[in-house]
């Protein structure tokens, strides 16, 4: 096969409400969508959702690089030769991870569709047929956070991530109220988004010890592996997870060597694609490290790619964090993913099993590019 058409869309989909982290507050999801068409008519979809503070590129940079850097180089290439395409994209732009992930995802979707199998099968097959998801609670007052957590539990969720990072007294009050509301069996994670230093993180962790948390995500700045290792040594009762510290394979190995984390967080958008992330999962597994997979803001295509990737890896723990469709009012696929019960049976495909809704793409669109073979 050869790629004969590259389409790039920028869409802004409203969120259910305003969401706040230590990085930003926003009420819409701005995303990039790629649709590739091969010479036999098979299509493939890719989607990334760059978020300030998480992504190294903005949505504008992603759309620009997709349309001006990568699209011209894609025309005429074989979408099934992922090794060659990844190498070519790395030579064109070594660090445009989000843009490269969108293209690689679309190639995986296209390749799997051409074979009539799911992307999970393309990645080696499923090790689990039902995926459980992790609820997400922003920086809210204690009573609001507790009410929201109880609502997630009543829907069927078994765990939730709670954002922290502005003030440890407020963080403790929020977590205490949530624990009182949901009881001892409900799993709680906290995520500081690199918002604290090591000493403050240690103080917070020790205050929260009686609440029996599942993990503490990215307690310190991304480049402070020594500080994260110190938090881990000082708080053996609370597993530490690296997120912002893990960008590529080299940074994952650096975290492992520093003994800075008990778990690592991975997501194809940040790592540059499904195949790259699958390799990193294998490296973490070899080092005895479990992984959390997924990012909290995202549309259906990216979410489904993460679901299918998560189904293929034994060291990905329950509580996938690809819950973006829970936060968006709408989507740009014909069937919006329903994650409202906290779990989803693994779809069979083919490919990612999703189709673009042309009306929704137009409704929410703010960028449109089409590159055709000559």
pLDDT of 300-341, one tens digit each? 999 999 999 999 999 999 999 999 999 999 999 999 999 999
Q: Which of 337, 351, 266, 254 is nearest to 299 (CA)?
A: 337
Please enumerate in sequence order all residues whose Cβ is within 8 A of that of 193, keeping only pairs 6 or more positions apart, or say none.
Answer: 21, 22, 23, 53, 163, 165, 217, 218, 243, 244
Indicate the helix (H) or strand (E) that contains 216: strand 215-217
Q: What is the pLDDT of residue 24?
A: 62
Report how far apart, in Å, the C-alpha atoms of 204 and of each of 164, 167, 229 are: 10, 9, 16
pLDDT of 347-369, one tens digit each? 988 999 999 999 999 999 999 99
Query: Which is the catalytic residue, given 100, 187, 265, 267?
Result: 267
Q: 5 burial class (0-12, 13-18, 19+ CB within 10 angstroms)?
A: middle
Q: Which of 197, 171, 293, 303 is nearest to 241 (CA)?
A: 293
CA of residue 352 relative to chain centroid, distance = 16
CATH 3.30.43.10 fits 3-116+354-372, yes or no: no
Q: What is the pLDDT of residue 297?
A: 86
Q: Which of 4, 79, 9, 6 is nearest to 357 (CA)?
A: 9
| Cβ pair 37, 43 in contact under 8 A | yes
pLDDT of 75-117, one tens digit each? 999 999 999 999 999 999 988 999 999 999 999 999 999 999 9
Residue 267 bears catalytic tag: yes
CA of residue 304 relative to chain centroid, distance = 10
Q: What is the pLDDT of residue 164?
A: 95
Q: What is the pLDDT of residue 264?
A: 98
**Rounded percentage of the chain residues whose pLDDT exceeds 90:** 90
* pTM (2 d.p.): 0.94
User: What's the rounded mean pLDDT across residues 54-67?
Assistant: 91
| Cβ pair 306, 275 in contact under 8 A | no
Query: Which is the catalytic residue, given 153, 163, 265, 270?
Result: 163
Residue 163 bears catalytic tag: yes
Which fold does the domain 121-345 belong to in CATH? TIM Barrel (3.20.20)
Domain locations in the chain as residue ranges:
3-116+354-372, 121-345
């Amino acid at each position: 096969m050869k790629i004969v058409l590259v389409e790039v869309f920028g869409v802004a989909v409203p969120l259910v409400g305003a969401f706040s982290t230590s990085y930003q507050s926003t009420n819409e999801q701005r995303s990039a969508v790629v649709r590739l068409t091969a010479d036999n008519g098979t299509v493939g979809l890719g989607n990334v959702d760059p978020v300030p503070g998480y992504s190294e590129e903005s949505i504008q940079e992603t759309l620009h690089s997709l349309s001006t850097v990568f699209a011209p180089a894609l025309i005429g290439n074989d979408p099934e030769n992922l090794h060659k395409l990844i190498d070519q994209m790395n030579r064109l732009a070594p660090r445009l991870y989000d843009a490269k992930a969108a293209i690689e995802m679309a190639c995986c979707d296209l390749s799997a569709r051409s074979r009539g199998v799911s992307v999970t099968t393309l990645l080696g097959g499923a090790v689990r047929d039902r995926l459980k998801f992790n609820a997400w609670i922003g920086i809210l007052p204690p009573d609001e956070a507790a009410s929201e957590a109880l609502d997630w539990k009543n829907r069927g969720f078994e765990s939730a991530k709670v954002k922290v990072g502005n003030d440890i007294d407020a963080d403790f009050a929020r977590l205490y109220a949530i624990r009182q509301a949901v009881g001892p069996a409900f799993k709680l994670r906290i995520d500081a988004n690199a918002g604290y230093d090591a000493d403050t993180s240690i103080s917070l962790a020790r205050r929260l010890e009686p609440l029996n948390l599942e993990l503490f995500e990215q307690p310190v700045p991304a480049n402070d592996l020594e500080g994260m290792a110190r938090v881990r040594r000082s708080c053996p009762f609370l597993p530490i997870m690296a997120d912002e510290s893990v960008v590529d394979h080299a940074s994952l190995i650096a975290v492992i060597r520093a003994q800075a984390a008990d778990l690592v967080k991975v997501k194809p958008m940040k790592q540059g694609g499904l195949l790259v992330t699958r390799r990193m999962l294998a490296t973490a597994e070899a080092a005895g490290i479990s992984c959390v997979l997924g990012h909290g803001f995202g549309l259906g295509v990216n979410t489904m790619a993460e679901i299918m990737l998560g189904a293929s890896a034994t060291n990905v723990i329950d509580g996938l964090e690809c819950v973006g469709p829970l936060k968006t009012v709408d989507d740009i696929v014909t069937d919006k993913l329903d994650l409202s019960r906290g779990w989803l049976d693994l779809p069979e495909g083919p490919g990612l099993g999703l189709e673009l809704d042309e009306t929704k793409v137009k409704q929410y669109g703010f960028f449109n590019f089409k590159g055709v073979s000559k």
